[in-house]
Structure 1
Amino acid sequence: MAFITSAAAATPLPRLAFPFKSLFGAIFDDSLSRGRQIIALSKLSNEELADRGLRRGDIARHVAHDDYWR
């Protein structure tokens, strides 16, 4: 029995999807990083936060200062 393989026709879809994949990948990576920062800061005690000049209610503003609170 013989197996015949043929080359699939190249479509421009992967090339067109690349910029969107890169953009959404960067957004997703950034949100994961911010989430990790929020979790890490939330684990600190109030005294440790005060040493950094933060209060518990300021954590989200501190982490996302460049996007949400201008």
Structure 2
Amino acid sequence: MKLHSKFDEVVKRKGIKKKFIVDELGISKTTMSLWSNDANGEAKTSPNVFLVLKVAKLLDCKVEDLFEIKEE
């Protein structure tokens, strides 16, 4: 199974600047960039559950809106 990130799509659709997310969550830009998909369409890394929940709340969406598990 692979983790597919929809994080960038949600942020763009909501019109929220990534700088705002970085500042609100107290994380680095590098950390946030790792949540984006690589060339194979997989998230570069999976954020911890605590951060996923905080991001979902900040963006007013469900966790499933941000990430999904895809069968290989």
TM-score interval, smaller chain: under 0.3
> Which is greater in Rg?
1
Higher helix fraction: Structure 1 or Structure 2? Answer: 1
Which of structures 1 and 2 has the larger relative contact order (alpha carbons within 8 angstroms, sep 6+)? 2
Specify which structure has the higher proportion of strand. Answer: 2
